[in-house]
Amino acid sequence: MALSEDALYACYRRMEKPLYNVLYRWLWQPQECQDTIHDAFMRVWEKRARVDATRLDKLVWTTALNLARNRLRWRGLWRFAEPDEGATAADDGPLETTERWQSDQRLRAALATLPRAMRQVLLLSEFGGLGVAEIAEVLGIPTGTVGSRKHQALARLRAQLNEETR
């Protein structure tokens, strides 16, 4: 059975924010995250005749993560950009904007120290809102591996961030 437009739209409404949260911590550019999400849903829509609606979420996650990896590969390496004007709230003052940017930079640097496998699990869990079983399905790894990678990633991240504040 082909994927319906209503099913894809419902999936988009349900997954847009978690996808954005994860992709932003990989790409660090709001417009690029939105473009990646759009591209992922367009690719799924193009394959709608072969898509099993029960596995739609996994397909969207996998497609979006692969597109993000491709974008990072295309860049060659992560660039540390200046804060994006569009990413700040309209009523934030310069102090709040600077503090948020510094916080983002600390998080970005700490995440960059994590091995890719740990970073993926952590981002999908903490910023994507996925459970252990969902992450295991998206990444194609056992649930026990998800748990251990998340535990190790959180420990390393805490240590890195605590070391920076000293």
Give the whole-angstrom CA distance, residue 141 versus residue 150: 13
Q: Please report the pLDDT score of residue 19 as a whole number.
A: 94
**Helices 5-27 and 56-75, axial angle in degrees (round to 10):** 40
pLDDT at 23 over 70: yes
Give the whole-angstrom CA distance, residue 77 versus residue 13: 31
The full DSSP string for 45-59 is HHTGGG--GGGHHHH
Domain boundaries, the chain: 1-76, 98-166
- For residues 39-66, give the mean pLDDT: 93
Q: Which fold has domain 98-166?
A: Arc Repressor Mutant, subunit A (1.10.10)
Structure tokens that stand for 30 in this block = 């709001």
CB count in 10 Å sphere of residue 123: 22
Count the alpha carbons within 13 Å of 22 in the hemisphere toward its beta carbon: 27
pLDDT tens-digit readout, 71-92: 888 776 444 444 444 444 455 5
Q: Please report the pLDDT score of residue 104 as a whole number.
A: 77
* Choices 3.40.50, 1.10.10, 2.60.40, 1.10.1740: CATH for 1-76: 1.10.1740
DSSP state of 140: T
Q: Please report the pLDDT score of residue 165 as a whole number.
A: 61
pLDDT at 39 over 80: yes
pTM: predicted TM-score of the whole model, two decimal places: 0.65
Rounded alpha-carbon distances, angstroms, from residue 39 to 35, 61, 63: 6, 12, 9
pLDDT tens-digit readout, 50-60: 998 899 999 99
